[in-house]
Amino acid sequence: MGKKLRKFNRATHRDLGYFFVAMILIYSISGIAINHIDDWDPSYVVNRWEVKTQMPINKNSFDKEQAKKLLLEFDIDNRYRKFYFPNDNRLKIFFKGGSVILDVHSGEGRAETLSRRAIFHTVNWLHYNPNVYWKWFSDIFAVALILLSISGLFILKGKNGLKWRGTILMSIGIILPLIFLILFYF
């Protein structure tokens, strides 16, 4: 590679890296979170606790005011939304940010609130391509990652470049995904 081309390659690699650093962080952070979606909810924190009431619950006469009283009894001051009976034995009350489900006979149940995780919710939202403009920007970013990968191959020359160390590391980087494909995909 000639001196001018090498200089252009370094400048392109550097500038794309600086320009897309936020995108790399967004997709990396949300990618880690989404990889572990079976272990935890990356977008929301779920809090659950047991509740119990002595208030009689009659499906035929239960109303909005009684639902609000139950929420106050459980120290839930969030705004009441609605209630319904999923079956003859259960009452579910919704409030802003959560819900309560009660056994109508025993008065025992569980309350649950949902709140957004500060950073993860936002980056996950972006990761899922929320609209057409972001989708196009993400596609441009994907092309830039390809350019960053290729231009990075030619940053160094000599034994630390493609002549020795670079070839070894690149080969390992190619072999690892192939091993996973052979073991778990085919």
pLDDT at residue 154, as a whole number: 93
Mean local confidence (pLDDT), 162-173: 94
Residues 6+ apart with CB under 8 A from 20: 141, 144, 145, 148
pLDDT at residue 9, as a whole number: 96
- When computed from its CA atoms, the radius of gyration of the chain, rounded to whole angstroms, is 27
Give residue-wise pLDDT tens across range 2-39: 899 999 999 999 999 999 999 999 999 999 999 999 99
Question: Residue 33, exposed/middle/buried by CB under 10 A (0-12, 13-18, 19+)?
Answer: buried
Q: Give the residue extent of every domain in the chain.
A: 44-116, 156-186
Return the minimum-mean-pLDDT range out of 75-79, 93-97, 118-122, 153-157.
75-79
Task: Report the C-alpha gap between 20 and 180 in whole angstroms.
Answer: 29
Give me the phi and psi of 3, to 5 degrees please.
-60, -45
pLDDT at residue 77, as a whole number: 84
Task: Report the SS3 class of residue 120.
Answer: helix
Please state, for a pLDDT cut of 70, what percent of the chain lies above it: 100
Across the chain, mean pLDDT equals 94
Give residue-wise pLDDT tens across range 43-68: 999 999 999 999 999 999 999 999 99
Question: Between vectors from CA 125 to CA 122 and to CA 127, what angle results, nearest 5°?
Answer: 110
pLDDT at residue 74, as a whole number: 96
Residue 84 has pLDDT above 80, yes or no: yes
Mean local confidence (pLDDT), 159-169: 93
Give the total residue count for the chain.
186
DSSP 8-state code for residue 84: E
**pTM reported for the whole predicted model:** 0.73
Give residue-wise pLDDT tens across range 119-151: 999 999 999 878 999 999 999 999 999 999 999
